[in-house]
Amino acid sequence: MRRQGDSVTISVRSQEIPPFLVMDVLEAAMDKARVGQDIIHLEVGEPDFDTPPNVVEAGIAAMRAGKTHYTASVGIPELRQAIATHYHETYGVGVNPDSVVITSGSSPAILLVLAALLDPGSEVILSDPHYACYPNFIRFLGGSPVFVPVPAENGFQMDPEQVRKAISDRTRAILINSPSNPTGAVMEPDRMKALADLGIPIISDEIYHGLVYEGREHSIMEFTRNAFVVNGFSKLYAMTGWRLGYLIAEPDWIRPLQKMSQNFFISAADFVQYAGIEALKNTSAETRAMREAFNARRKIMIARLREIGFGIQVDPTAAFYVLADARAFSQDSYRFAFDILEGAGVGVAPGIDFGEAAEGFIRFSYTNSLENILEGLNRIEGFLKRCHVG
């Protein structure tokens, strides 16, 4: 769009990309906090724990040793090997270190994988609800998202038969996220195998692996090698600010991915990659303690939300989210989230951010202290008792 007198036209794609609504809520909450209002954050999917001290020390030691330069665009060999070893020890799958590409967080990994797969008009099948940014990545690259509903009454599980019916001659991939943001659901292994058997490449976002409280998660590589794995260090290792992720792909894809990484990102930070090695090798006690704390919060949040009147048909068993049905209070999740922020001083995520099927739901994150979680939910209950939001 060009206005009279403007010398530069803003691109259509940059104008049309939707906002990340969770960030709208967070930024509004931060504005309130800056002027002195007491805000409790239940909207953000970021661990409230600090990075384990030994990981911090490994990063500092790497900087002091001069690890402050460019690395190969695919990452340092030591970290690629550590990731391959981690997947072998955790899932029993063999990974060639040469099939691992290190990225500055998992979001660049998703972008690289989709860019390697999509031409204009290509389609990617994904669930509804889904992580808010997936469709935006796909559309930004000229593709089209195709949504398969995963209703709450079915435990937010993807139905392979519905996926099969959604496949067309333009389908380039099926995108899955297990454990899931926003639902906290873990995909059943039989469903993963059935999806793999469809013969379409699977993009598996495994960023919440390690944060499972009932049962266990599975990597897509246990079922097929016609897949791309995306993972990172932000969630399990409380390393959001370090910006370190990776992808695993079959050998034929590595050179195209490498070339895009060279052009767009050059490389992940040198010293951060050494911190990643330490996280993979020597943080089992710390990650276990974080997981136990999250699990305790999860159980209390679920029970308390039900007491307040939110609907939860199937308990989430992983990640750190509860996607609760709020339609007893409001049909408009975006407005309702801001009503809660204004009336209770609590930040929550509107369901509509995660797809049409999540409208009327609110996502609550338990990445806050138990004390703050209980205070936040008490405030929401008081707000709802004071006024009816319709």
Q: Tell me: the pLDDT tens digits for 190-212?
A: 999 999 999 999 999 999 999 99
- Residue 20: the pLDDT is 86
Indicate whether 389 pLDDT > 50: no
Q: Is the pLDDT of residue 330 over 80?
A: yes
Query: Is the separation of the CB atoms in 174 and 195 below 8 Å?
Result: yes
- Identify whether the C-beta of residue 305 lies closer than 8 Å to the C-beta of residue 378: no
When the candidates are 3.40.190.10, 3.10.330.20, 3.30.565.10, 3.90.1150.10, the CATH number that belongs to 12-50+285-386 is 3.90.1150.10
Whether the ω angle into residue 151 lies within 30 degrees of 0, i.e. cis, is: no
pTM: predicted TM-score of the whole model, two decimal places? 0.94
Residue pair 41/347 in contact by the 8 Å Cβ criterion: yes
The CATH number that domain 53-282 falls under is 3.40.640.10
Question: Does residue 278 register a pLDDT over 60?
Answer: yes
Domain with CATH 3.40.640.10 in the chain: 53-282
Structure confidence at residue 390 as a pLDDT band (50, 70, 90): very low
pLDDT given for residue 17 in this prediction: 87
Q: How confident is the model over 6-42, as pLDDT tens digits?
A: 678 899 888 888 888 888 999 999 999 999 999 999 9
- Residue 2 has a pLDDT of 52
Sorting pLDDT into bands at 50, 70 and 90, what band is 290?
very high
Q: Boundaries of CATH 3.90.1150.10 in the chain? A: 12-50+285-386
Contact between 323 and 352 under an 8 Å Cβ cutoff? The reply is: no
The span from the CA of 305 to the CA of 222, in Å, is 36
For residue 330, give every residue at least 6 positions away whose Cβ sits within 8 Å of its Cβ, in sequence order, or none. Answer: 336, 339, 360, 389, 390
Q: Residue 63, Cβ neighbours under 10 Å: how many? A: 16
Q: What is the pLDDT of residue 387?
A: 82
Looking at this protein, which amino acid is placed at residue 163? V
Look up residue 51 and give its DSSP letter. P
User: Partners of 246 in the beta sheet?
Assistant: 102, 231
User: From CA 127, how far away is CA 148, in angstroms rounded?
Assistant: 5
Percent of the chain with pLDDT over 90: 92
